[in-house]
Amino acid sequence: MANDPDCIFCKIAAGIAPSFKIYEDAEALAFMDINPFNEGHTLAIPRAHFANLHEVDEAAMTATLRAAKRAAKAIEAVLKPDGINLIQANGPGAAQSVMHFHIHVFPRKFGDEASLNWGLKPGDRKAIGALAERLKAAIG
């Protein structure tokens, strides 16, 4: 399995870097975004390193989408957002900041005025961790 020792998401997948994981299987995982735009903002990634949509193979993409769907189901059950976007960025013009393929599971609220290039603001890690526990319990 391809791995980049300098990639933060590879380190999260390997358990070397900390994260609030809510789902994992042999090929993919979902964990809380550390800079959430809205409460429950989660990332789904393949375990293997692929920089972006152009490089990811179909099996890894399918596994990542499965993890995103599982996370979205838990977010829907626990947070009941007004909606959920799946967002996936490739390249600097799309504001990709981590070069490991990932899908944002992006809960929406009416009036949240999300723009596609949202700013990164540090989240409350205690609150993020507590919510991760609730989502993990709901993931089914």
- Establish if 35 lies at the interface with ligand DGP (CB under 6 A): yes
- Nearest approach, Cβ of 98 to ligand DGP (angstroms)? 4
Among 51, 65, 77, 98, binds ligand DGP (CB under 6 A): 98
Contact 103, 62 (CB under 8 A): no
Output the DSSP codes for 61-95.
Answer: HHHHHHHHHHHHHHHHHHH--SEEEEE---SGGGT
What DSSP state is assigned to residue 21? E
Tell me how far, at minimum, the Cβ of 32 lies from ligand DGP, in Å: 6
Q: Which is nearer to ligand DGP, 18 or 83 (CB)?
A: 18
By CB under 6 A, is residue 89 in contact with ligand DGP?
yes
State the Cα torsion 63-7-97-81 to the nearest 10°: 40
Residues identified as active-site: 102
Contacts of 16 (CB under 8 A, 6+ apart): none
Candidate segments 47-55, 61-69, 74-82, 95-103, binder of ligand DGP by CB under 6 A: 95-103
The answer to the question of residue 34 lying near ligand DGP (CB under 6 A) is yes
- Which is nearest to 79 in space by CA: 48, 105, 45? 105
Restricting to residues 40-69, which ones interact with ligand DGP according to CB under 6 A? 43
Q: Which stretch, 26-34, 72-80, 106-114, 131-139, contacts ligand DGP (CB under 6 A)?
A: 26-34
Among 18, 13, 27, 10, residue whose Cα is nearest residue 128: 18
List of residues contacting ligand DGP (CB under 6 A): 8, 19, 31-35, 43, 89, 95-98, 120
